[in-house]
Amino acid sequence: MNLAAFALLLAVIPPPVVSTSSGPTGSPSPAASAAPLHTIVTVKANPYCTSLVTHFNGAMRPLVANDYSLDRVDDQLIDLKSVFNGLDYAQHYTTIRVKLVKLVGEMQKRLPPLQAEVNSLRDGEKLTTDPVEAKKMHALAEKMQLAYNKQMQLTNDLLALAQGMMDFNQLGGYHPLNGQDAATQAMPEDMKDMKSFLKFDGQRDVIRSAESDAGDIAYDIATTSCH
């Protein structure tokens, strides 16, 4: 299951409201009148199921937002590989560096609340006396943790890259050497390809797999234990 497509698909059946007045109801609150979230599974309002909805959805928001940021990082890493081929390589290099710093900063801000939601999701296994339900919630939290761990690893790797780019003098080499010194030019192509060097695609594959597995587990819990 694609986790991005699963975002905000869980909702809780609210407890019934007993009216004590025979008169007309008042105006809806701002929350009630807001556009409803798209929902494919509605779950029971007990502590275990409510925890699933609250913290799975809460973790998913920053997780998916970071995936979108990594899509944009991918574009910058592709551009970086050929940055020294053009006459405007110095300005292009600076532009890529600025974009990377901004994207990495955004991802860093999302990581702490993401970890907090995963921790709370893991605590949800204590809210049931059914060992099967507890095991499923634990497995869900582990998949979300794996996705977090890989996002954090990539964020740290990209931060180191951005800091290295700040230290690199893009005007230090003659343009016939594509803005690089002879030693850099002599390096294998894979060493100059930051996507390859960072194992960027492989790490993202792990994230996607963990997200997909988490979506499947959450859907299974919602439909078997909380429906």
Rounded Cα distance between 169 and 225, Å, is: 58
Rounded Cα distance between 89 and 93, Å, is: 6
Dihedral over Cα of 47, 140, 213, 217: its sign: negative
The number of CA neighbours under 13 Å toward the Cβ of 100 is 27
Mean pLDDT by 10 residues, the chain (227 residues): 46 44 44 43 76 92 94 92 73 88 96 97 95 96 98 96 78 54 54 82 96 92 87
Give the pLDDT score at 27.
42
**Pair type for strands 10-12 and 41-43:** parallel
Give the pLDDT score at 26.
45
Report how far Cα 13 is from the mean position of its chain's Cα atoms: 27
The number of CA neighbours under 13 Å toward the Cβ of 84 is 18
Give the pLDDT score at 169.
63
- Does the model's pTM come out above 0.85? no
